[in-house]
Structure 1
Amino acid sequence: MKSLKVLLFVMLAAAMILAACQPSQPAKPAEPSAPEQPAAEAPAEPAVDANAPVKGGTVIVGTPQEPGTLSPLLASGTIDDVISSFIVEGLVGIDAKGDYVPVLAESLPTISEDGLTLTYKIKPGLKFSNGDPVTCADVQFTKEAILSDLSGASTSGYSDIDSIECPDDLTVVVTLADVYAPYLRLFQYIVPRSAGDLATLDTWEYNRAPIGTGPWMVKEWVAGDHITLVPNPNYREEGKPYLDSVIVKILPSREVGMQLLGTGEITVLWDLTEADFPTIESMEGVDWAGAYYGSGENELLVFNFADPAVDAPADPAEAPHPILYDLRVRQAIQYAIDKQKIVDALLYGNVKVGSTVLPTGPFACPQAKSEYSVEKAKALLDEAGWTDSDGDGIRDKDGVKMSLKITSTTGNQLREQTEQVLAQMLKEVGIELVIDNVPSDVLFAGWDSNGLRKHGRFDILLYTTGPGTDPDSHLFSNYHSARIPTAENNGSGNNFSRYINEDVDKWIDDAAFNPNMDARREAYCKVAAQINKDLPRVFLYERLVISGYRTNLQNFQVSPGFADFTIDSQNWWLKP
């Protein structure tokens, strides 16, 4: 962060010179003194607070990724969650420090001694942007929507809800069938009953123009160009938001965004990387804000255990990937990657080398860093039967070349550079890595859009993800065998590796039903250790959540939660 400039003020005093006294006169008899009258005072000038918010103006947010949806029920990429957070709120949320805080509820929920009953009190007088009151019935509808057939949202915790009762419109009593340890993460968004019929959830108008309680609402969405947000007339904080509008501008790349941020054509640039620090430091009137390791995210490689030619198999053993299903190959790939070199060369040493699925937070489970050894990588590949039979530098086996495609998002220079470095490193051990990037909306497409992650049409993926404040949902969605996307579950889950380990399933399940923090941490650390043994994913480096902004934008900050840079955007204002 740029050091703050110290302003010094020097106060000067001026001496007063009195006039000489008049010559002395004969004394006069003393006269009674008149009552002393108060001196007349000039009207006081009203004080001007230079830091008082100024109403009006437009903030332009640049992003190299366009959301696929603004519905939290269908969100599949980070940008979906971030932009929808301008509009959609929940009973609880996560503040800039990473702590759970009440939002639409008066306080965090109370929990019964047996851990099976949660009680929320909704703040009185709340309305959605369409004017409908926020009631307990909307909480009931949200739970039904999350569990509905067309929803792509995580069902962790919601599937454990036995009932939701409404003693009155503002009281929500949630009864759980079993103890759900991370109960605070429930209802971080509320979907109103007016959103639509659950049978047509995937075609709701709500998906592109949500009805929310946040400070903003969608005025227009021009695909591929911009989303215009205007103030929610029913927002609960009087006089806010201060701005007239927020425009989310879709950019061709982060690099273009950096140029526009420097010239002032955009006010905020989302999703900067650690490699951008030197450029940010060189810009006049530009700074950055971030959640420093707050969300525990890793830039990582996702290996596909199944054959990409087979559509979404439930068990990769029935259709194994011809190269990556073999653990020895995955181990060899990790041995061949010099993670520290990537960090030093591409990220200026500003981040930590990745080594665990849980790098930070209350459930952090540090693991030993992986070893870099070309020799061990080659030995494992030899052992697995992959040799260079024709001398072209690429190993082969049973007529199959050891050639793999790596897929990430287009328009991301750091990822492209990372892929190039990885390709060079793997070439040294006889593996060909072919870069095959796609637009973000293609990479993060859902099941019904024939998304390549969901249907398993890839070899290796490169992107960022992490556990957030509580790892339960992330570990369940990404590593539990029940969350392998298949036709049977309508593509639910993010276990794109199609990773199956019964012990991992059990540890994740045990932690989800145990409110004891120490016991949960122990179970999660077993999961972290086993992931590093089985290698469904390779953690390259820990990420920072960073956005750049023009310094005339006041009250800009970043949360490690879903809201990211949108947190408290009702308090944004532009300093003249």
Structure 2
Amino acid sequence: MRTVQTSQRRYRDRLRHLLSASLMAAALGLPVLSGAAALSAAPALAADQPARGGTMNIIVQPEPPILQLGLNQQGPTQTVGGKIYQGLLTYDKQLKPLPSLAESWDISPDGLTYTFHLHKNVKWHDGQPFTSRDVIFTTTKFLPEVHSRARANFARCESITAPDDYTVVFKLKEPFPSFINAFEVASAPIIPAHLYDANTDYKNNPANATPIGTGPFKFKEWVKGSYIHLVRNDDYYKPGLPYLDDIYFRVIPDAASRALALESGQVDQSQYNDIEPFDVARLKSQPNLNFTTDGYEFVAPVSWLELNNRNAPLNDKRFRQALMYSLDRQFIRDKIWFGLGQVATSPINSHTNNFEPNLPKYTKDVAKAKALLDEMGLKPDANGVRARIRFLVMPYGETWQRLAEYVKVSLKQVGVEVTLENTDVAGWVQKVSNWDYDMTANFTYQYGDAALGVSRTYVSSNIRQGVMFSNTMGYSNPKVDELFASAAKENDPVKRQALYSEVQRILVDDVPVAWLLEMQFPTFVSKKFNNVITTGIGVNESYESVYMTKR
């Protein structure tokens, strides 16, 4: 084991040296060494007859603060909680709705009435029946109090009613075609009314410690700092499912240890940011692993440099445009993220509804950047410095540190001096949410639709101090507010696209943030398992149909 770890450290040291050299060379316009080979899709898994049995070990990092998915929607909580809880719908890789707790649904021609027909033989993990009462309680009481995105979605309803135990009717105040995308398990997890309705202190309900859902796996044990153990729900409403006996979510804080655990077969799956990009090419060559970037189509993350639009000189869009021209985003994709993702050309991810492909492009152009700074009157001083800004480094691993270092070197070429500031996750969240920064890195999820996951970043009504993943940069444009509001309630898809295309053109010109990449997360899965990534919510799915390959 010691020999393997030593080899791992040497490999990392070589990568870090090459990366640092490449960063500097690229920033200075010098030739760079070629990076990792282009990433390819995972090979198809061998056909096999599903059968019951087997244990799956999955990395979870960081450890979730809680498993009650209605109360917490952080990535690790979604991955674990998605096996315990369910929404009314799930979504395929093209973002089309699929049945979950709702077996079918109807939308009225005027787009105002959504009727969901529920499965009739569903039980909660404690044996109580699941009915429309649970959906009514979840969407009218529980989620509006504790879940900000769900609160906004269900506030659009004039009424939410249940004509019988297995039918729920949502009547909207005005058309909102994105509403059909609001029922995925993390966006609207259905909560057991019989455990929560009598105790309105939802955040301190004793049931939070032993989550009860309708999903194919039940909570059994949580050993803090070590693992979370889920077991098969033998009363699951789909006959014969799930196939697996149980799932262990293993807490492994160190990135090198996570990679080693995958290689050695100690764990069977990684997801999201578990694996540093510089480890991906090596792990792809391991004979025991399959690799894919599928399964993130619903969240469709876009990364950016977040710019505090309140602070000079960032409050001038010419300065923000100059920053875009200072960056080689293709280099960021190729050499820092090692081929994961693609350069972002819009605030809307190309996998998300209403993406506009025909927008002006920012490519690295130092002369244009300097010209814009000259136009602002930012002339170089005796040391060649035109402006000074602080960069609050995103504390989510070595790759984000390397990005900050690259930005510092790149902006120096145009006379902008960048001071890097480091903090822990709690400190970063506090500073960003309270607007105490000039620049930082960030990324958010789009949830399949611009009205659900994109507009929240740019509309002035969502400038909320102390609230993370809101419009923390303080960008405000009345025309953008108007376009997002109009598009959200436009039923005609052609007219809706025209509105979203116009708002994208304005944002690309205003540069409220410096978009970097449409991110791809590397998912590694042991070849012992089939049917793992099957929908657009990927690793957050129920895993009801995952099974072990017979050898």
Normalization by structure 2: what TM-score? Answer: 0.82
* Displacement after TM superposition at 1:458 (Å): 3.1
Preserved contact between residue 219 and residue 230 of structure 1 (Cα < 8 Å) = yes
Aligned to 1:229, what secondary structure does the other structure show?
strand
* Displacement after TM superposition at 1:547 (Å): 0.7
Separation in structure 2 between the aligned mates of residue 180 and residue 419 of structure 1, nearest angstrom: 39
* Displacement after TM superposition at 1:290 (Å): 2.6
Instruction: Give a deviation string over 1:377-424, Cα, whole Å, max 9, x none.
Output: 233334434455452x5444xxxxx131233133x2332222222221
Gaps of 5+ in 1: 8-49, 306-319, 397-401, 446-450
Give the direction of change, closer, same or farther, for the CA distance of 1:128–1:439 in structure 2 (3 Å limit): farther
Preserved contact between residue 142 and residue 190 of structure 1 (Cα < 8 Å) = yes
Q: Which moved more, 1:258-267 or 1:534-543?
A: 534-543
Where does residue 307 of structure 2 map in the other structure? 303
Where does residue 515 of structure 1 map in the other structure? 491
Larger helix share, 1 or 2: 2
1:405 and 2:427 correspond = no
Aligned to 1:368, what secondary structure does the other structure show?
coil
Preserved contact between residue 274 and residue 347 of structure 1 (Cα < 8 Å) = yes
Gaps of 5+ in 2: 1-39
Separation in structure 1 between the aligned mates of residue 319 and residue 52 of structure 2, nearest angstrom: 59
Separation in structure 1 between the aligned mates of residue 243 and residue 381 of structure 2, nearest angstrom: 68
Aligned to 2:214, what secondary structure does the other structure show?
coil
Give the direction of change, closer, same or farther, for the CA distance of 1:105–1:347 in structure 2 (3 Å limit): same
Aligned to 1:172, what secondary structure does the other structure show?
strand
Alignment of 1:3-402 (within 5 A): 51-75=48-72, 77-107=74-104, 109-145=105-141, 148-188=144-184, 189-196=189-196, 199-207=200-208, 209-271=210-272, 272=275, 275-291=278-294, 294-295=297-298, 296-305=300-309, 320-349=310-339, 351-358=341-348, 359-366=350-357, 367-389=359-381, 391=383, 394-396=385-387, 402=388
Separation in structure 1 between the aligned mates of residue 502 and residue 455 of structure 2, nearest angstrom: 14
Separation in structure 1 between the aligned mates of residue 45 and residue 433 of structure 2, nearest angstrom: 53
Aligned to 2:336, what secondary structure does the other structure show?
helix
- Give, as a single letter, the amino acid of the residue that structure 2 aligns with 1:529: R
Instruction: Give a deviation string over 1:313-352, Cα, whole Å, max 9, x none.
Output: xxxxxxx324422323222211111112222323444542
* Displacement after TM superposition at 1:514 (Å): 1.5
Instruction: Give a deviation string over 1:115-174, Cα, whole Å, max 9, x none.
Output: 222211111011122222221121111122466444333434311111112111111122
Instruction: Give a deviation string over 1:234-281, Cα, whole Å, max 9, x none.
Output: 321234322232122222244432221011111101125665442133
Aligned to 2:399, what secondary structure does the other structure show?
helix
1:570 and 2:549 correspond = no
Give the direction of change, closer, same or farther, for the CA distance of 1:177–1:351 in structure 2 (3 Å limit): closer
- Give, as a single letter, the amino acid of the residue that structure 1 aligns with 2:367: E
* Displacement after TM superposition at 1:75 (Å): 3.4
* Displacement after TM superposition at 1:512 (Å): 1.5
Aligned to 1:425, what secondary structure does the other structure show?
helix
Separation in structure 1 between the aligned mates of residue 210 and residue 445 of structure 2, nearest angstrom: 27
> What count of residue pairs does the alignment treat as equivalent?
501
* Displacement after TM superposition at 1:96 (Å): 4.5
- Give, as a single letter, the amino acid of the residue that structure 2 aligns with 1:530: I
Give the direction of change, closer, same or farther, for the CA distance of 1:76–1:481 in structure 2 (3 Å limit): farther
Instruction: Give a deviation string over 1:50-69, Cα, whole Å, max 9, x none.
Output: 93334333211114333344
1:458 and 2:437 correspond = yes
1:550 and 2:526 correspond = yes
- Give, as a single letter, the amino acid of the residue that structure 1 aligns with 2:476: I
RMSD: 2.9
Give the direction of change, closer, same or farther, for the CA distance of 1:69–1:501 in structure 2 (3 Å limit): farther
Aligned to 1:85, what secondary structure does the other structure show?
helix
Separation in structure 1 between the aligned mates of residue 424 and residue 223 of structure 2, nearest angstrom: 17
Preserved contact between residue 146 and residue 154 of structure 1 (Cα < 8 Å) = no
Preserved contact between residue 41 and residue 292 of structure 2 (Cα < 8 Å) = no
Q: Which moved more, 1:478-487 or 1:521-530?
A: 478-487
Normalization by structure 1: what TM-score? Answer: 0.79
Separation in structure 2 between the aligned mates of residue 145 and residue 221 of structure 1, nearest angstrom: 28
Give the direction of change, closer, same or farther, for the CA distance of 1:520–1:265 in structure 2 (3 Å limit): same
Separation in structure 2 between the aligned mates of residue 6 and residue 481 of structure 1, nearest angstrom: 47
